[in-house]
Amino acid sequence: MSLLVVGLSHRSAPVSVLERASLAAETQAKLLQDTLAAEPATEAVVLATCNRIELYADVDKFHAGVAELSTLLAQHSGVGLEELTPYLYVHYEDRAVHHLFSVACGLDSMVVGEGQILGQIKDALARGQELHTAGRLLNDLFQQALRVGKRAHSETGIDRAGQSLVTFGLQQLAAGADPEGWTAGKRALVIGAGSMSSLAAATLARTGVADIVVANRTRARADRLVEILQQGDDTAVRARAVEMSAVGDELTRADIVVSCTGSTGLVLTADALADALGVTLDAAPDRPAVTTTPAPADVDQHAAWVENGSAASAAVAGPATALRRVTVPAQSTGPVRLALLDLAMPRDIDGAAHRIDGVRLVDIESLAEASADAPMAADVDRVRTIVSDEVAAFGAAQRAAHVAPTVVALRTMAAGVVAGEIARLDGRLPDLDEKQRAEITQTVRRVVDKLLHAPTVRVKQLASEPGGAGYADALRELFDLDPQTVAAVSRADLNDPNRGRS
């Protein structure tokens, strides 16, 4: 079996496509179940964030696996396969490992170095474990990705190279001003109470906003977030929770709005925003929206583009598409009365809000534009070295693990031979006392252990090297090991309740 990932992200697709392809939680569960029902796959995990959708699987056939996973992504995202294919990337075996480790370290994030992706990887693994779609390979892979990401953040200054999308978004809203000085004393409305909204609320509290209002469809979650904010020792923010029905009234008092919900439709329309500001949308000057449009390119150009952007090569399953950057126009000619940060995918805030005087809107698309020119820290090179080293170590460990069941089966067979010979000896020499019998038994076992020690140690060493997978097959052939016994050892290892815990 082999590791395969098929996906799309902000590096390969325009935000408009990512927005349409976003997967709700229940859709992700159905995608995982359908992937396992497909013939090429035996394990599956889906990593879905605001700027990436990736399906990881253990497959027995590469081309069939790519075709099946691509089809499943199209079916569950609702974007036709013909339309989706140009934006898909494919990584296989070591390149798939390299890709996930790079993602875990923040190298492939919209804002390089941000750490929130670790929580999203952890959630993806937990979902696969809960649904029993993550087996031995993907459990090992995602657990190791979490460790690699933590190592990158603890051993390097990658945190200085990047930040959370919330912090980066506030910087864009502040338009060059110090975000802490810019937010000081302002009133903020946070719509949603999930992980991103909670991070936004905590960040706003730390930067000095005076008031935070949290609106969420489930009032209990909004209340809980308010409780957490008020327990913070490093802030003096005033916080309260409201029903979603109160958002319109709260808009009239807010200076900053951050929205990140799981809604499939708009949470804030341009009309609602215009009403809150007391202006008429139709009378607002028409400013072109921020757009990122696809431009045709050949496969080689696309692969090079992805290589430069993600530090991992890509094989594209179909015609390639690059992105043509469009200049972002100024959004307002007057003072900013309402600053909007939309971190949802699909978007929560109507893009037409940019037409309203006094409104500044920053969303995932404009963040992608701004982050393209963000400075890179020297620590990024160090993180890339860590990723390369960890990929090599993971590959060696997986290859060594592949031969382990065969070694165990060999030693089990040898133990059975020893037990049979001792039983035969008991029949031929019934007068042996317990001490003599124990000494003979121990002697025979030592002989067998010494004979097996060198070849089993050596086969593990050889198997850990590239191309070493065939040594397990050779060992089974040479000692005529029962494949059923080897498979039973593999299943026992997979079902070990302590396996993969960190």
Q: Which sequence positions are flagged as catalytic?
A: 50
Report yes or no: 343 and 166 within 8 Å, Cβ to Cβ. yes
Residue 428's CB is within 10 A of a number of other CB atoms, namely 7
Which phi and psi angles does 351 have, rounded to 5°? Answer: -60, -20
The DSSP-derived string for 186-234 is: -EEEEE--SHHHHHHHHHHHHHT-SEEEEE-SSHHHHHHHHHHHHH-SS
CA–CA dist 186, 459 (Å, integer): 66
Report yes or no: 66 and 7 within 8 Å, Cβ to Cβ. no
What are all long-range contacts of 467-475, with beta carbons under 8 Å and residues at least 24 apart? 468/399, 468/403, 469/399, 469/402, 471/403, 472/402, 472/403, 472/405, 472/406, 475/403, 475/406, 475/407, 475/410
Strands 89-92 and 52-59: unpaired
- 386: enclosing H helix or E strand: helix 379-428
| R_g (Cα) of the chain, nearest Å | 28
Which phi and psi angles does 110 have, rounded to 5°? Answer: -60, -40
- Token pair belonging to 111: 């804002």
Rounded alpha-carbon distances, angstroms, from residue 22 to 123, 284, 313: 16, 31, 24
- The distance in angstroms from the start CA to the end CA of the chain is 25
Residue type, 455: P
Strands 41-49 and 2-9: unpaired
Q: Name 321's bridge partners.
A: 296
CA–CA dist 307, 315 (Å, integer): 10
Report yes or no: 282 and 216 within 8 Å, Cβ to Cβ. no
- In terms of Cβ atoms closer than 10 Å to its own Cβ (0-12, 13-18, 19+), residue 61 is middle
Which phi and psi angles does 224 have, rounded to 5°? Answer: -65, -40
